[in-house]
Structure 1
Amino acid sequence: MRIATGLLVAGAVSVGVAVTAFAQSTPRSSKAPQILAAAPQAAPAAAAPTPAAAAPLPPPAPAKAACANPDALGVGRVVEIDTTGGPGFGFEHFKQLDFLRDKEVVLTFDDGPWPVNTPSVLKTLADECTKAIFFPIGKHATYHPEILKAVAAAGHSIGSHTWSHANLNNKKLTEQQQKDEIEKGFSAVKWALGAAPSPFFRFPALQHPPAMVTYLGTRNIAMFSCDLDSFDFKAGKPEKIVETVMSKVDRLGKGIILMHDFQKHTAEALPTLLRRLKAGGYKVVQMKAKAPVATLAEYDDALAKETKLPTVSSRPLNSVVQTISE
């Protein structure tokens, strides 16, 4: 689980990031990257002769599903992240890209997917018509691919949290073993989803070895720390999680919130927490990647050999089931 750390990692990579916001107002922070309007400008209409017979109109685009909860927390803004160079987010470790405005939060969940708890988190997010980023552990993804598919189907962003939740700052790990944890984790998530996830990564225990920060930069994978930690893995009851998050976010005024969908108390706390955020005037920012991660073929192939999908017998019924007494 999460271990508190005061480690500050300097930007070991030269980061070039464009954050494109699907919103019209500009950020308040002078540190924020440039925000470009997502909607294209309308082209001037060209004069044309009226055709003798009008061509049939194309079918209308499907309307966005309406939220069934009129008082839902919802999504206030959607931003697209260009992960070229491995940008870092979250003021605990990365202070360059301050793109959140006042009263904006990003919801993030680590360590899933896990039975009962992850589906409960998904239900609460759906009830509030809001979105989050999930950082699954690779092994857990191979245990419960159907749960991770449900996360993707609900429209949430999915990154990776290593293969086995190894602390990459462990001096016993070689640099190659550190890279293996990163790459195998992404390949496992890809295997579970049937498609490449976002190039979003969170270090276990928020331990950032400088060599791996540099490596992720060369792989064009964004790194996520946090602005505030719920410490939900230490909480003995859901109410403690709510109070911890709200006291911190009220003090900071905004932030990337770290939680764990692996934790039972987090799933229990989430309905109250989201209502408190709504009552406090906070808005959720959904972060999407401009392009999926480019996993490495050798790890994809190794994962496919190690992990076999469940298969259904193709034998005919009469060779499997026979009546021997009636």
Structure 2
Amino acid sequence: MLAMVQPSPDAAAQTAPVVRGPSAPALMPAESSGGPTATQPAVRGSGAPALLAKPPAAPAAAAEPAPTLEAVPAASAAVNCPGNPNALGVSRTVEIDTTGGPGFGFEHFKAYDFLRPGEVVLTFDDGPWPRNTPAVLAALANHCTKATFFPIGKHASWHPEILRQVAAQGHTVGSHTWSHADLSKKAVDGKAEIEKGASAVKLALGGAPETPFFRFPALRHPPEMLAYVGERNMAVFSCDVDSFDFKTKKPEAMVKTVMSKLQKTGKGIILMHDFQAVTGKAMPMLLDALKAGGYRVVHLTAKEQLQTLPEYDAEVAKEIKGPASAGGTGKPTSSVVRTIDGY
């Protein structure tokens, strides 16, 4: 269930929607099976991107047929971002009430259509990972924008200092199971995968509460596991636009895939992977392309934080074996080992 919508300070003046009058086309395109219906009115705020679609057919007596207009967002408003006058920024911040486990992303869940025309949500799976996640973070910081990350529990336990960078920069952190196992397989203990993944993220974040956002590996969500996540009051995320970044090594190809799909959907939750090297390389180009295309970023937050289960916290802590038994001090690697010469 979608909760309150809360505009960001930078975009407070842009959140009052104004429905276009009869003189302008007001129908959303319905080219994608996962997109909005053709009867949904296009809504625009002050300076918000507007999508143009095919207008109603002209009367029989008209001399010329009505033109077909391509779905193209209008230019987005300027953002105050030091060092980047052409930054994306964040158009608004949305708070989600995760009670009951609502699902988002039209590829699988169509109950909550909360994005306005031209709005996107940036999401990243499978991290944190050296080089790749920091590259993604640098690109996001350069555009003063925010994203939602779905880290794998094991990866979070291996690279907690990177995940803490994600949180420190104001991004939302959910979870993506303990080991990225396919929860649709009967041999997999789905409950343990979900809970250990959440506990590992919490431990990696230094015990800080995490956001109750969850994404199933490979977007495969068996009914019993979907019901369990609902009982745990975790929102489930699919997507509207899949970048398929794991299928290409060329950043340009990834950017083209995302932008061409957005031309069809007009808006949506974009699925990417900060585990993939190509994604880190593509992010500067993709963010520039989103800005040039007039798209606007929505940042997701939750009404409540996730309460992990103590038994799984203890199990993960035991499996990780903690700093003392591993011969460590509890400090991140970067503060213990530092390069003083070379690269």
Q: TM-score, normalised by structure 1?
A: 0.77
Distance in 2, Cα, partners of 1:78 & 1:233? 29
> What does 1:239-254 align with in structure 2 at a 5 Å threshold?
239-254=252-267
Letter in 2 for 1:70: P
The residue number in structure 1 matching 2:300 is 287
1:219-266 Cα deviation digits (max 9, x unpaired): 100000000100000013111100000000111100000000000011
Match of 1:84 in 2: 99
Aligned to 2:149: 134
Cα separation, 1, equivalents of 2:296 and 2:218: 27
CA shift in 2, pair 1:181/1:312, >3 Å: closer
Moved over 3 A (4+): 26-32, 65-68, 310-313
- TM-aligned CA deviation for residue 27 of structure 1: 8.9
Q: CA deviation at 1:172?
A: 2.4
1:74 matched to which residue of 2? 89
Counterpart pick for 2:129 among 100, 108, 114? 114
Q: Which residue of 1 aligns with 2:323?
A: 309
State the SS of the aligned residue for 2:107: coil
Kept in 1, the 8 Å contact 2:81–2:89? The answer is no
Matching of residue 25 in structure 1 with residue 16 in structure 2: yes
List gaps (5 residues or longer) in structure 1. 1-15, 33-64, 314-326
How many residues matched? 263
Say which one has the larger Rg: 1
- What are the Cα deviations for residues 265-287 of structure 1, in whole angstroms up to 9, with x where unaligned? 11101100100000000000000
The 2-side partners of 1:27 and 1:96 are apart by 23
Matched, 1:191 2:208: no
Pair 1:151–1:216, CA change in 2 (3 A): same
* Kept in 2: contact 1:189–1:196 (CA 8 A): no
Residue identity opposite 2:227 in structure 1: T
Q: 1:125 to 1:67 in 2, by over 3 A?
A: same
Matched, 1:259 2:250: no
Aligned residue for 2:246, secondary structure, equals coil
Q: Kindly report the root-mean-square deviation, in angstroms, between the aligned alpha carbons of the 2 structures.
A: 1.9
Q: Is 1:152 equivalent to 2:167 in the alignment?
A: yes
- Residue 187 of structure 2 aligns to a residue in which SS? coil
Out of 296, 304, 324, the position equivalent to 2:309 is 296
1:275-318, Cα deviation, whole Å (9 max, x unpaired) = 000000000000011121111111011122222036339xxxxx
Q: Which residue of 1 aligns with 2:62?
A: none
Deviation at 1:20, TM superposition (A): 2.3
**How far does residue 68 in structure 1 lie from its aligned partner after superposition?**
3.3
> Which stretches in structure 2 are left out of the alignment for 5+ residues?
20-35, 42-79, 331-343
Query: 1: distance between equivalents of 2:148 and 2:83?
Result: 22
Q: Determine what percentage of the aligned residue pairs are the same residue.
A: 63
